Amino acid sequence: MVFGNISKVQVAVFAFCVAVALTLSSPSSRAQEEFPLTAGRNVVIGTVSVDNDADYLYVTLETDGRNMREAHLYVLDEDPGRRLPPGRAPYRSEYVYYPQHCEFAIPLEERGIEYGDTVYIQMHVAVPGESAYGGDIITPGRGAWYGIIAWQAAAPAPSEPDMTWVDIPDSNADYPAQNCPAQVGFTGKMSRYPTTNAQYAKYLNDALASGDIEVDGDQVRGTTGEYAGEDYYRLDGPGSTAAGANNGGASRISHSDGVFTVDSGVEDHPVTYVSWYGATAFAEYYGWRLPTEWEWESVANYNDNRTYATGGSLKDGDVYLANDSGNDSHEFAEYGTTPVGHFGTFGYGMADMAGNVWDWTSTALVDRRVFRGGSWINDEDFSTVSYRLWLTPDYQLSSIGFRVCR
């Protein structure tokens, strides 16, 4: 590659400056953007990537095959308006031999960089090249040697709740589901269990930190997106005394001083008093979705014409296989709900697709949403794989939860 009329090989030093607008939430994974590394008369010699996580700002250099002989990185609080010579900036890398790839990790706290701050990044990279200035510094050509690229960093996605996924290769695609408009199977991953109180509380904390929800009295309400203004979760859901329960299916998540916490002992019980809006918002926040009712049914039915997700019955002799209103002798009867998976797994390895809590699905019937599976408050007739009910999406009940798929 030639950078001028010269036959002697020299070391050419390239300068590149990027203006980075850091708009950070509470990230745990990295969100990256890439820019060309240019030299001479805007000749691209590699790439520069900028990203961040909760602790570091990362700047990665990758050349087009040349070995870097040195790399200096400056992180500035203000746009200097010019290229700074080596050693004249608040932050400088060590003078080190690098091959074709190097990564700088700048501690955010140590540099005093806070979420929302704008910092300016400038680097000098020395690589073998043909210099038009006899080994003098080569920077991008006239009018471009101090090019600034404004970069708006996307807030990295929060860490996902700890879900247990079941890989389902092709669930019962030939099963003629009741009233189904087509024979529908499911291929993908579906959560083994209904979403728990602990998992939903994590979402509420994440979404509160990112500004996607607000607390208004005893309601948690969406503030962004399609469901802004809709009620997601009821904090004071009283539960029910049905089926021998004390406050069965009550709200188990509370909010105080900006933090959502779960009542002790019920972290692994399914979340209740969550609306369809709140279930869908949870799924979409992490890049998942609710299953359609037909996907739900084909998974619950496994690969034969089952009456229940547990098989032909909700009992195996005298042993209960599900938490419905006929089973009030278990040790969690006062809570109404039971820990997810308490009665084992069936079919593809799924749990609680008969009883415990109904699952909201994505299927709409005019202005209503369908839910499936029965619950602790209903008898066995409601827990079949084909039984379906529907309510408007704002309902928040002690018997309805949800599971997700992807």
Q: Mapping DSSP to helix (H, G, I), strand (E, B) and coil, where does residue 107 land?
A: strand
* Each residue's pLDDT expressed in tens, for the chain with a length of 406 residues: 222 222 223 344 444 545 555 554 444 444 467 777 766 555 676 787 877 776 787 888 787 776 666 666 667 777 666 655 555 544 444 444 556 777 778 787 887 777 667 777 776 666 655 444 333 333 332 322 333 434 444 455 678 999 999 999 876 656 665 556 655 789 999 999 999 999 999 999 999 999 999 999 999 999 999 999 999 999 999 999 998 899 999 999 999 999 999 999 999 999 999 999 999 999 999 999 999 999 999 999 987 778 999 999 999 999 999 999 998 778 898 999 999 999 999 999 999 999 999 999 999 999 999 999 999 999 999 999 999 999 999 999 999 999 999 9
Residue 178's pLDDT is 58
The CA–CA distances, whole Å, from 352 to 86, 322, 398 equal 64, 7, 16
165-402 CATH fold: paralog of FGE (formylglycine-generating enzyme) (3.90.1580)
Write down the pLDDT at residue 331: 85
Q: What is the reported pLDDT for 284?
A: 96
Rounded CA gap, 108 and 90, in Å? Answer: 14
Burial environment of residue 88 by CB neighbours within 10 A (0 to 12, 13 to 18, 19 or more): exposed
**Amino acid (one-letter) located at 66:** R
CB 340 within 8 A of CB 268: yes
CATH code: domain 10-152 is 2.60.210
Residue with tokens 């203006």: 19
Would you kindly state where each structural domain of the chain is located, as residue ranges?
10-152, 165-402
Per-residue pLDDT at 221? 98
pLDDT of residue 231: 98
Q: Could you report how far apart the first and last alpha carbons of the chain are, in Å?
A: 47
Residue 13: its pLDDT value, please?
A: 46
Q: Which amino acid appears at position 58 of this protein? A: Y
Assigned token pair, 240: 């029910």
